[in-house]
Copies of this chain bind each other. A is one copy, B any other.
Amino acid sequence: MMAQWRYAVTDRTTRERILDAALDLFGVRGVVAVSLDEIARHVGVRKQTVLYWFDSKEALVDGVLDKVAAELVIVIDAAVRAAPDDPLDRIDAVVRAVFRPAVRRPGLLGLVREVSRLSQGQADRLAERIAPLIDRAVAYLGDEMAAGRLRAGDPRLIAALGYATITGIATEPEVLRAVGWTADAAGLRSLRDELRAFLRAALQA
């Protein structure tokens, strides 16, 4: 709390680097599996320096969750703004926008996935930040359905299904690889294309 204020005024790199390392490590291997010491080692600093910037491990997790949510909001906002007007194209653009950083930084959605394993307070806080994103999707789908540009249905369920599918794909590469799928950019693109075809077939007015 005090530390956060200090950071904003004076330093910038150490705290940011801790957050970056923690996001990657937490997201890929899980929060409980990664020790403060390992994060510190990745940053090139001592564990106590991490505890200087974040009062506790839980505070660090909170900081990382903030970062994840903020990054997702930025990515999605940009995609929506740049997307064409056609609803199917627009949905596709958002899916594509979420996928791209998910490949570059596996921890991004990996951490979202771990929400159910965090403490209740942390899970609630993350849900609070993800929910508006899904709510926006629900509102958008509802509008387009009302306008007759998408096939009628329950927008809430469709948004939930899409969310579950995206996080499922982004965080389950090992098993998918076992059936001959590759986690590289091409493999992800083909899966995304398949998802788009599904959405088109199911949502086309």
Q: Determine if A148 is an interface residue (Cβ-Cβ < 8 Å).
A: no
Q: Which of the residues B116, B153, B171 comes within 8 Å of A116, measured between beta carbons?
A: B171
Q: Could you tell me the distance between the alpha carbons of A197 and B203 in the complex, rounded to whole angstroms?
A: 10
Chain B neighbourhood of A9, CB < 8 A: none
Decide yes or no whether A131 CB sits under 8 A from chain B: yes
How many identical subunits does the complex contain? 2
Contacts of A52 in B (CB 8 A): none
Look across to chain B and name the residue whose beta carbon is closest to the beta carbon of A170: B164
A109 to chain B, nearest CB (A): 10
A88 within 8 A of B: no
Main secondary structure of the interface of A (DSSP, over half): helix
Contacts A117-B30, A163-B172, A177-B127 hold; do A190 and B112 have CB atoms under 8 A apart? no
8 more A-B residue pairs beyond the given contacts A167-B172, A168-B172, with a C-beta to C-beta distance below 8 A:
A131-B179, A135-B179, A156-B181, A159-B179, A160-B169, A160-B194, A161-B195, A166-B168
